[in-house]
Amino acid sequence: MSLFLVGLLIAAILVLAWGVSLYNALVRLKHSVTKAWSNIDVLLKQRHDELPKLVETCKQYMQHERNTLEAVISARNAVSSAREQQDMGALGTAETGLRLGLGKLFALAENYPDLKANESFQFLQQRISGLESGIADRRELYNEAVNLNNVRIEQFPDVIIARYFNFTAAELLRFSDAEIADVDVKSLFG
């Protein structure tokens, strides 16, 4: 009889260790999603801080392009609002508007040789382009972390622990069709 109790105790310890291991893996995945979002957030904040400098630099040269400059600032504010609320759907839409506005701004800058030659403009253009590349890379990492988290909390036996401890699915960062479509370069110059 005592051998049976020892076996039962060992089985209970193994089941408990297995449950703790699953729980810890789910916690790591949840925090991986949070970390991936934080990495995007850092770059979004940096770009947010650089855009007014770019617009101010452009204002000095592009007196007749007020609508384009205002569109960039408006899109910047929409991205900031979505970022602060961590609303992935709104962020995707706002990012689309910002990218289109920046594309038009950079295309219009071609019409202003003095602006293109301005060191501040060149620096800010390179800085923002670098931040855009970083954001794109981090979006991919974020979506991968979200996917791993979401798959794991739906898989058996992890789903048991996930439901018991209320682990929830994270939202993928998606973009509108305009965001992923080819850019019509001619329209940027029109």
Structure tokens of 173? 């960062």
Please check whether residue 11 lies inside any domain of the structure: no
Please check whether residue 13 lies inside any domain of the structure: no
CATH of the domain at 166: 1.20.1440.20
Please check whether residue 139 lies inside any domain of the structure: yes
Could you tell me which residue, 119 or 146, shows the higher pLDDT?
Answer: 146
Over residues 33-37, the mean pLDDT reads 93
Structure tokens of 33? 């999603």
**Per-residue pLDDT, 86:** 85
The interaxial angle of helices 119-154 and 2-59, nearest 10 deg, is 160
Over residues 114-134, the mean pLDDT reads 86
**Per-residue pLDDT, 129:** 87
Please check whether residue 7 lies inside any domain of the structure: no
Domains: count for the chain? 1
Confidence of residue 32 (pLDDT cuts 50, 70, 90): very high
Instruction: Tell me the average pLDDT of the chain.
Output: 85
Over residues 67-96, the mean pLDDT reads 87
Give yes or no for residue 184 having a pLDDT over 50.
no
Task: Say if CB 94 and CB 79 are below 8 A apart.
Answer: yes
**Per-residue pLDDT, 178:** 52
Q: What is the extent of the structural domain holding 95?
A: 23-189
Please check whether residue 27 lies inside any domain of the structure: yes
Confidence of residue 182 (pLDDT cuts 50, 70, 90): very low
Confidence of residue 185 (pLDDT cuts 50, 70, 90): very low
Please check whether residue 45 lies inside any domain of the structure: yes
How far is the CA of 26 from the CAs of 100, 146, 151, 163, 172, in angstroms?
A: 38, 12, 11, 11, 17
Q: In the chain, which ranges are continuous DSSP H helix?
A: 2-59, 66-85, 88-109, 113-117, 119-154, 158-164, 177-180, 185-189
SS3 135: helix
Comparing 11-25, 58-72, 148-162, the range with the smallest average pLDDT is 58-72
